[in-house]
Amino acid sequence: MIWNWQQPEWPAFTWDSKALEALEGEFLRQSGEFVGAFRHISADDKDAIRIELISEEAVKTSQIEGELLSRESVQSSLRQQFGLGPASANIPPAERGIAMMMADLYRDYAAALADESLFSWHKMLMSGDATIRTVGGYRTHADPMQVVSGPDYKRTVHFEAPPSVAMAEEMARFNAWFNDTGPNGAHQLPALTRAGLAHLYFVSIHPFEDGNGRIARALAEKSLAQNLGHPSLIALAYTIERKRKDYYAALERNNKGPEITNWLVYFAHTIIEAQATTIRRVDFYVAKTRFYDRFRDRLNERQAKVIARMLKEGLDGFKGGLSAENYITITGASRATATRDLQDLVEKGALSRTGELRHTRYWLALADGLS
């Protein structure tokens, strides 16, 4: 198999810019919509939303790689990073490391890209991982860097990256390209084009022993933030994780040659979807705040516990709706008490009801327009 970096054109990727024009325009339109929505939120609420959005990205970018983290620990570490309070005791290294990287990405998005900044991110990500030989530096091992699947006796090689001896040269060229195509560079690229290209170019080099996917997604977000002139807070990893197979399939389809229109269009659509999700998340948070302002003094202890549990599910909601059995499980109430509590919540306007008998389900009655 001949990979993209083995082609004589490498790394001169090609694409059809016209295929991206409408998507680039949609991205800028939605960016303005997000800024407008965020402008009318109080400072305290902005801090809370930032922590929620960034922690979700931290958890999801790790989950894409099969690493399951504690959202509560990540949020606690992020609050400390942003000076919003002390971190909880005994936060695991993985949660602390990804929180540090995401906070650094948010604060220093405008900084030029250099080896030192990438090494710093890698140290944060790999803190506590004793299996990595080179932490905070590009890989040096002689073995081929391959992306594989399947058992040892029947392995499928999805990609093989350039050899380790080429890392210094490859990354010097990548960093120069990234900075040169930014808003202040000599060869500026539109936002979606640059972000998609940065991601594919970086993972094609695969410069680290581990953490390449997470850093590639962080670079895409850094690229978007630089083009916008402010942190994007975009739900990129959240969106990719929901369709992870499509993500890996798109990468594999575009790692063999220089023509990457297919990849850029896929990644642009993913960013547009992620951007819309971020806007819905902000709307959801505002609706949640108004909901609590309206009902917090009108709920008994059992009702408050169930409402908190439903709101914790966020945009995805309580799967299938809340049933009386769910209510009983969460609160430990009797069936008669659960029935009275649920009816009371419907009468107050806190919940809506659908279905009958055993098919009855209850849904949060949040502001209109949320989906």
Q: Count Cα atoms within 13 angstroms, Cβ side, for 330.
A: 20
353/361 Cα distance (integer angstroms):
6
Choose among 11, 344, 25: nearest CA to 173: 11
Q: Which of 40, 199, 206, 269 is catalytic?
A: 206
Would residue 187 show up in a list of annotated catalytic residues for this protein? no
Q: Are 179 and 152 in contact (CB under 8 A)?
A: no
Pick out the residues of the known binding site for ATP. 210-217, 247-248, 255
Helices (H), the chain: 21-39, 43-64, 71-81, 93-107, 115-126, 167-180, 191-205, 212-228, 236-242, 244-253, 261-295, 301-312, 324-331, 335-348
The residue among 63, 78, 76 whose CA lies nearest residue 233 is 78
CA distance 115 to 136: 9
- Please enumerate, by residue number, every residue annotated as part of a binding site: 210-217, 247-248, 255
List active site positions. 206
